[in-house]
Structure 1
């Protein structure tokens, strides 16, 4: 009887984890379809970067500079965004690892 109980609990755990995975995928798909960032809008203390957003569906990193200008950097891998987010020197990281490496376009209102 104990082995049967263990199998039931294992099956319930698998069903729960599958539900969590589906919920995450649906949330990601919703944000991708609406064009909103799946990740939180990042504000940071920087003399160059006012804030940044990352759009995983298009691998676009949107940088708003302290001057107010907005640029989209295209084909930026998630790991690059995460590294920039973790960096203590956003402007330095942007200049060394993004500018001149990834194509960009200026966003106009």
Structure 2
């Protein structure tokens, strides 16, 4: 099971999935490290990440009003967000047909 040299039944290079986290800071926090910039609101971040990770569809995130789900524009076109607080959001990509979000980022968005 621990062999990462190939895929079962596959030939050639393994299929690469999109990066789950967009930046190292978000990845560090999501894997249990404390991130100084997030300390004042880390419980809210944890709650939002659990909601995001538990979602089966992008549409499911829209059903919970407290998420304040938004489709973003400008340089973040193609991304969506759910709010942590007035200033911070969890931004991510979740294209039609995808089974989970990727490029997840905790962003200062004001």
Confirm or deny a common fold (TM above 0.5).
Answer: no
* Higher RCO (CA 8 Å, separation ≥ 6 residues): 2
More helix by share: 1
Structure (1 or 2) with the larger CA radius of gyration: 1
TM-score, normalization by structure 1 = 0.27
TM-score, normalization by structure 2 = 0.27
